[in-house]
Amino acid sequence: MTTPVLAIHGGCGAIPKAELTPELDLAARAALERALKAGYAVLEAGGAAIDAVAEAVVVMENDPVFNAGYGAALNKGGFHELDSSIMEGTTGRAGAVAGARRLRNPVLVARRLAGEADPLLLIGEAADAWAQEHGFETVDNSFFTTPSRQEALERMLERERQGTLAAAPERDKHGTVGAVALDRHGHLAAATSTGGYTAKPVGRVGDTPIIGAGTWADDRTCAVSGTGKGELFIRRALGHEIHARMLYQGTPLEEAAHAMIHTEMTALGGGAGLCAVDHEGNVTLPYNTEGMYRGWMKGEELYVAVHED
Ligand code: ASP
């Protein structure tokens, strides 16, 4: 029996250290801890990695500290389009939703889709309708809006008018939540959920619902969940690339993941981060931004962090 491992991220667009008040810091850490404990309880009870990652992501989707579910980023049209996916590493089953507007917990719908023969990925209104038909909670799109996301949208639109978009701080650009797990039976899974980036074009889909880009799991190698400039994750098939380097080159997880974030993504000029676990339970949480909400749990050990410590 393997000691279960769970690792999570709450996005690589963490508030800069200088601006992080003790209250915000505490709230973020408490939220990460809640997510870890909820997911880990599933693993401790002998549950499947895919259920543990869904559980951890639900806790973060429900917390407005993070850009996913309630408190997700607003697009340029002033509304929310939510992306999520999940994958398990034994059979390669996966499920995903993109551009959903009314799913209270997008990851739960992705989880259910992973149990279906098909479809694997549903978009927009079709995703909302499918979820409703299958008994999932749906809400009005305005449910996801918080004052701080509204302010972030206004700041980004103002930057667009002024032509200073590129200089926007990472925290206004990024956010996503994700979890990876190794269960007692040696199975891996990954799940990711996001509102995308603030002021993204209507209909834009990032890496989060794209299997092989923002989410990947294979029992032979690793489980990966990404955060950061989604277009670059898609262009590099980042999750799958880490898996491939491990499988075909024998590269250890840490080395493969760090190379993708610190060499590839940095060279492309994108803020990026990820959480990953390999089939032996090794965890890595690289990021190239100022901070990334992150943590892991293994047995009695629990770690959470926002910046470098
Ligand atoms: N990866 C997400 C996206 O591109 C956003 C983020 O993590 O910052 O939609």
CATH code at position 113 = 3.60.20.30
Predicted pLDDT at 21: 87
Instruction: Dump pLDDT digits (tens) for 139-194.
Output: 999 999 999 999 999 999 999 999 988 788 777 777 899 999 999 999 999 999 99
* pLDDT tens track for 42-51: 999 999 999 9
- The whole domain housing 42 covers 5-305
Please tell me the predicted confidence (pLDDT) of residue 11. Answer: 95
Residue 170: what pLDDT?
A: 72
- What are the backbone dihedrals phi and psi of residue 116, each rounded to the nearest 5 degrees, phi first? -95, 150
SS3 307: coil
pLDDT of residue 305: 96
Give residue 131's pLDDT.
98
* Predicted local confidence at residue 1, as pLDDT: 76
Is residue 95 within 8 Å of 84, Cβ to Cβ?
Answer: no
**Exposed, middle or buried by CB within 10 Å (0-12, 13-18, 19+), for 287?**
buried
When divided into structural domains, the chain yields a total of 1
Of 229, 234, 261, 274, which is best to mutate to test ligand 1, by the most ligand atoms within 8 angstroms of its C-beta?
229
Ligand 1 center–CA 197 separation, angstroms: 6
**Of 81, 85, 149, 207, which is best to mutate to test ligand 1, by the most ligand atoms within 8 angstroms of its C-beta?**
207
Q: Does the beta carbon of 228 sit less than 6 angstroms from any atom of ligand 1? A: yes
Collect the ranges in the chain with pLDDT lower than 70.
none
The per-residue pLDDT for 14 is 79
Residue 44: other Cβ atoms inside 10 A: 16
Q: Which atom of ligand 1 is nearest to 230's Cα? A: 4
Q: What pLDDT is attached to residue 19?
A: 80
